[in-house]
């Protein structure tokens, strides 16, 4: 966990007082909606179909047990008893009243939570690998650098009015769990030949109306130069990014239009003026921020292979969960546990207040009081003693967060869609519910890794372009239709999915996905070949034939 | 940004003016007696562009009461019941089409 200092605490408290005043002035009519809108957006408050939506920042997806408990309380007291975890590792409340928002924000501030950088044309909450600091083999904890960026970019006056929102993600592992290649800036921690820690810097990724995979503009930027280099990128973007057309305002369009080489040259030019200046991070500053991350003092434990084998033998359901949801930890005797927020028939990423409170208790008992939020809309207990796994599993089962479907076809990423969102064209959640029911059998779960992502409109909050199977809701003559793409992926081999064919109506989506799965079963080179690899090997055609042969 | 009042108004059938209540975001409809009502049945029905424009202008002037006023289509059933004109408006009137997690 990172512990806020006095500056952070003061900033968060002042923000609450400021927003309370703004809300009061809005409700009294002193501020018009036009004047108030940019102010509420700077505090994570959107107006959706039937209510205000309030997005709370969870920097790099790390929460303490008291913070999660507080989110549960806010859900209970000010909302309708649940929250929705997002693909930016944040949480959203869907029903909050404007008049209640200052009180909710004040309660969150008690535990260091706030809503800065969750909306508006600023640098948004920096995301990172949800296994940061515990994944075996990572270069180092990426959250240290995410925190440095958070401190530098929070309310940064030069970058509070960018042409458009700006998203940064960091990974420190070979396997990219942070989807860095679909971000405005993607940072991959690495060491150079001298053993120095730094970053491969990628720029210009993003989904939405014009999807792009980020490209590398510099293979190595030393850690001490991170801020100056990111600042150089932001300056080039701030100067040249288009403000005349919202659809062309993201950095990906600038990178695409200029070309990566010209863009890189512009950044290099800017950086020459900044490098070695006041933004250079000295060892002392880095050490100070590092020291504010409190790591568990892990009591030494042996690996619990035998105990886990016994528990698996007596409880097959435990064995399934262990194989699916538990990952190796860098510390012997410990494990990383993913809590699935994707039970069959439920909205992906939602957790009730009771579940959040219970998970906070379990984190205190089993995970050194720490929880992580994954961009796949699941939660993680990052420091669990292996010997506690059977007991923890029973507790997670009891609250409905032990569905053993992590990374499987029912571990669906989905945006709120037309049930909540004022931008959506079609519903996402009912499609996800149908699919989790359709594919809940053991046979479907045995398909192996298969990422299915759903967005209710072209803005792509559900990351449909990079799902192994992507589903995009569109509206045709007043009816909900869905375009299907296949072959996308969000990891280190990120690529955009390819369109399968004409959109299909709401009630045919599950059948089409089943056809795709059946085609995969027949076409794969063997049970070990993943869906996405079969698509990569054979292309879209055989899948297309299968789906449309009987439908046109 | 173009204000809704400056936008071209095109209506193809019976319509209402709807918005979200400022204090809590609840869906509201402009009534003939210049109130914001939560029940669609109380909404003023307009059938041509000039009337729609006038209702929208009158509604949008109440910036404290409600936010983001716009014209939405409705259907009038044989018995005179006013129904939402599309899925979006149906969801706005009825709430989400799913069971909320907290009441599962």
CATH number assigned to the domain comprising residue A276: 3.30.413.10
Q: Tens digits of per-residue pLDDT, A299-331?
A: 999 999 999 999 999 999 999 999 999 999 999
**Nearest by CB: A418 against B64, B87, B104:** B87
Residues of A in contact with B23 (CB under 8 A): 27, 97-99
Minimal CA separation from A319 to chain B, in Å: 27
Q: Tens digits of per-residue pLDDT, A101-150?
A: 999 999 999 999 999 999 999 999 999 999 999 999 999 999 999 999 99
Residues of A in contact with B100 (CB under 8 A): 80-82
Q: What pLDDT score does B6 carry? A: 66
With 70 as the cut, is the pLDDT of residue B41 above it? yes
Q: What pLDDT score does A107 carry? A: 97
Q: What pLDDT score does A444 carry? A: 86
* Burial (CB count <10 Å: 0-12, 13-18, 19+), residue A441: exposed
Per-residue confidence band for A552, with pLDDT thresholds at 50, 70 and 90: low
* Secondary structure letter of residue A30 according to DSSP: S
Per-residue confidence band for A548, with pLDDT thresholds at 50, 70 and 90: very high
Size of interface A-B (CB pairs under 8 A): 81
Query: Residues with Cβ < 8 Å from A183, sequence gap 6 or more?
Result: A127, A167, A168, A169, A202, A205, A206, A214
A358 occurs within a structural domain: no
* Burial (CB count <10 Å: 0-12, 13-18, 19+), residue B42: middle
Q: What pLDDT score does B9 carry? A: 83
Average pLDDT, whole number, for chain A? 96
CB contact under 8 A, B95 and A50: yes
CATH at residue A24? 3.90.480.20
Q: Tens digits of per-residue pLDDT, A260-301?
A: 999 999 999 999 999 999 999 999 999 999 999 989 999 999
Residues of B in contact with A32 (CB under 8 A): 63
Q: What pLDDT score does B50 carry? A: 95
Q: Tens digits of per-residue pLDDT, A431-453?
A: 999 999 999 998 888 899 999 99
CB contact under 8 A, A49 and B92: yes
- Express as a percent the part of chain A with pLDDT over 90: 96
**Nearest by CB: A433 against B20, B86, B98:** B98
Same domain, A267 and A228: yes
Same domain, A228 and A98: no
B28, B86, B101, B104: best mutation site toward chain A, by most A Cβ within 10 Å?
B101
Query: Residues with Cβ < 8 Å from A72, sequence gap 6 or more?
Result: A353, A354, A355, A356, A357, A360
Domain that residue A275 falls in: 134-291
With 80 as the cut, is the pLDDT of residue B2 above it? no
Same domain, A86 and A189: no
With 90 as the cut, is the pLDDT of residue A4 above it? no
Q: Tens digits of per-residue pLDDT, B60-83?
A: 999 999 999 999 999 999 999 999
Same domain, A211 and A165: yes
Residues of A in contact with B63 (CB under 8 A): 29, 32-33
Could you say which of A269, A291, A313 is where a domain stops?
A291
Could you say which of A233, A258, A291 is where a domain stops?
A291
With 70 as the cut, is the pLDDT of residue A162 above it? yes
Q: ipTM score here?
A: 0.94
Q: What does the alpha-carbon distance between residue A330 and residue A137 come to, in Å, rounded to a whole number?
A: 7
Per-residue confidence band for B10, with pLDDT thresholds at 50, 70 and 90: confident
């Amino acid at each position: 966990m990172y512990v806020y200092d006095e500056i952070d605490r003061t900033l968060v408290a002042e923000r609450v007082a400021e927003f309370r005043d703004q809300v009061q002035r809005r409700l009294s009519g002193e501020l018009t909606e036009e004047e108030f809108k940019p102010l509420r957006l700077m505090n994570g408050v959107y107006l959706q179909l039937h209510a205000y939506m309030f997005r709370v920042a969870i920097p790099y997806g790390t929460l303490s047990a008291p913070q999660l408990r507080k989110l549960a309380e806010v859900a209970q007291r000010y909302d309708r008893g649940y929250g929705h975890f997002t693909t930016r590792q944040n949480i959203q409340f869907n029903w909050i009243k404007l008049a209640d928002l200052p009180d909710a924000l004040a309660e969150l501030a008690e535990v260091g939570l706030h809503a800065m950088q969750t909306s508006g044309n600023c640098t948004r909450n920096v995301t990172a690998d949800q296994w940061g600091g515990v994944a075996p083999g990572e270069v180092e904890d990426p959250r240290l650098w995410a925190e440095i960026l958070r401190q530098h970019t929070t309310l940064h006056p030069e970058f509070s009015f960018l042409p458009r929102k700006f998203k940064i993600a960091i990974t420190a592992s070979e396997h990219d769990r942070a989807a860095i290649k679909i971000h405005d800036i993607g940072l991959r921690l690495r060491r150079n030949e001298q053993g120095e820690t730094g970053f491969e810097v990628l720029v210009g990724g993003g989904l939405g109306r014009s999807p792009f995979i980020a490209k590398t503009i510099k293979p190595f930027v030393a850690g001490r130069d991170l801020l100056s280099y990111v600042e150089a990128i932001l300056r080039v973007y701030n100067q040249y990014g288009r403000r005349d057309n919202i659809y062309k305002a993201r950095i990906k369009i600038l990178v695409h239009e200029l070309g990566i080489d010209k863009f890189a040259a512009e950044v290099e030019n800017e950086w020459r003026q900044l490098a070695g200046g006041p933004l250079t991070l000295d060892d002392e500053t880095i050490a100070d921020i590092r020291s504010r991350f409190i790591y568990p003092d892990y009591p030494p434990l042996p690996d619990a292979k035998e105990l886990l084998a016994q528990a698996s033998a007596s409880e097959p359901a435990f064995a399934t969960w262990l194989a699916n949801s538990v990952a190796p930890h860098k510390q012997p005797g410990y494990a990383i546990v993913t809590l699935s927020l994707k039970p069959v028939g439920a909205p992906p990423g939602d957790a009730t207040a009771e579940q959040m409170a219970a998970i906070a208790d379990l984190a205190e008992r089993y995970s050194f009081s720490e929880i992580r939020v994954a961009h796949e809309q699941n939660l993680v207990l990052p420091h669990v003693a292996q010997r506690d796994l059977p007991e923890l599993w029973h507790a997670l089962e009891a609250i409905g967060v032990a569905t053993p479907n992590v990374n499987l076809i029912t571990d669906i990423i989905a945006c709120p869609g037309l049930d909540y969102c004022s931008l959506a064209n079609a519903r996402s959640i009912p499609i996800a519910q149908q699919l989790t029911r359709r594919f809940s059998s053991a046979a479907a779960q045995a398909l192996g890794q298969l990422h299915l992502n759903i967005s209710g409109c072209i803005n792509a909050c559900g990351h449909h372009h990079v799902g192994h199977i992507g589903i995009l809701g569109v509206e045709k003559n007043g009816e909900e239709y869905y375009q299907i793409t296949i072959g996308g992926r969000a990891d280190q081999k990120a690529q955009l999915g390819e369109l399968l064919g004409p959109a299909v109506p709401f009630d045919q989506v599950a059948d089409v996905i089943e056809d795709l799965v059946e085609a995969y079963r027949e076409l794969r080179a063997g049970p070990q070949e993943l869906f996405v690899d079969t698509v990569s090997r054979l292309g879209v055609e055989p899948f297309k034939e299968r789906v449309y042969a009987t439908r046109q | 940004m173009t204000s809704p009042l400056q936008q071209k108004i095109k209506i193809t059938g019976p319509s209402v003016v709807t918005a979200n209540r400022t204090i809590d975001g609840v869906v509201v409809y402009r009534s003939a007696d210049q109130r914001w009502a939560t029940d669609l049945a109380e909404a003023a029905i307009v059938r041509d562009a000039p009337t729609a424009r006038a209702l929208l202008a009158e509604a949008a002037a109440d910036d404290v009461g409600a936010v983001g006023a716009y014209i939405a289509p409705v259907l009038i059933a044989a018995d005179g019941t006013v129904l939402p004109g599309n899925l979006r408006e149906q969801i706005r009137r009825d709430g989400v089409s799913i069971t909320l997690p907290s009441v599962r």
